[in-house]
A and B are shown apart, each in its own frame.
Chain A
Amino acid sequence: MALKAAGPVVLGGRDLSPRMLGMVAALAPALLAALVVTQVLDGGQRIVLDERLLGLGVAAVLIALRVPVLGVVAAAAGVTALVRAL
């Protein structure tokens, strides 16, 4: 709770300096990319290549084809479930 609140409580409502804004702008892709790889590869402090990677591959193709986010997410889950069921 305190961790979530730290930024907004201290800085709340103030606009960031251009330099800070630049850092925050770069933070988003870095954090999103880190979330993607940890959620796909992490198998309890081990790198695991499993069905999730296939689901993510399908998602990447659909994103490139400009399929809406909802479809991408559903397809990734569907493919992963299907391969697991085989």
Chain B
Amino acid sequence: MRAAWALAVAVAAFGVSFGVLATSSGFGRLASVVMSFTTFSGASQFAAVSILDAGGGVVAAVLAAVLLAARYGPIGLSVAPVIRGRWPWRFLQSQLILDESWAVANQGGGRFDRDMLLGAGGLLGLAWVAGTAVGAVGGDFLGDPESLGLDAAFPALFLALLVPQLRDRRAVSAALIGAAIATFLIPFARPGIPIVAATLACLAGLRRG
């Protein structure tokens, strides 16, 4: 759970930067905060708002956001066994699934810690929405999160969570294949596609193997 608190600080800082970006590209203050609450997917929100800001149409913005969120298909499948209860309750719980909460709840070998998943998800959600509100209102006199190196914090975290999982050859080869596919696709595909393709290719390869 300590990892989750550290993440919450980073997520809040990114929420602030999202609030600043959204209001500066013409979103209302309230609209920015509502978007953080309902969409609750930082990458999708950043992509959609930057496209709108750059003059791209609404269709392109929504498409990019949905593509980025497509990774939650396989992610949702992987945690399905620990999300219990009637379906409306499962639907609500599943909204707390994030890259970060999923990663800290991952115990390796395909098992997940349910309390960690939902606890970290809730904590990060609060941090994200509160951060957006601060950025949307406080705006200009806050520093740029990139100057604090926060954009390097997330890959470092994912790497720290990846390494302990590389216990057998299959995990190592899955990681290498995933990294290779994602790297190869970055220049060619829309944002989000490299991540989805990397995971799906692994699934396909395993089914055959």
Contacts and interface: CB of A to CB of B under 8 A. Distances in A.
A11 to B, nearest CB: 4
A22 B81 contact: no
Interface in A1-25: 1, 3-16, 21-25
Given A6-B73, A39-B155, A74-B6, A81 B147 contact: yes
A40 B149 CA distance: 12
A6 B162 contact: no
Interface residues of B, number: 83
A4 B179 CA distance: 23
A36 B66 CA distance: 20
Which of B84, B103, B155 is packed against the most chain A CB atoms within 10 Å? B155
A80 B195 CA distance: 24
B175 to A, nearest CB: 4
Contacts of B31: none
B74 A27 contact: yes
Contacts of B188: 45
Interface in B66-119: 66, 69-81, 83-85, 87, 90-91, 93-95, 97, 99, 103, 106, 108-110
Interface of A: 1, 3-16, 21-42, 45-47, 51-52, 55-56, 59-60, 63, 68-70, 72-82, 84-85
Interface of B: 2-3, 6-7, 10, 38, 66, 69-81, 83-85, 87, 90-91, 93-95, 97, 99, 103, 106, 108-110, 146-163, 165-166, 170-172, 174-179, 181-183, 186-191, 194-195, 198-199, 201-203, 206-207
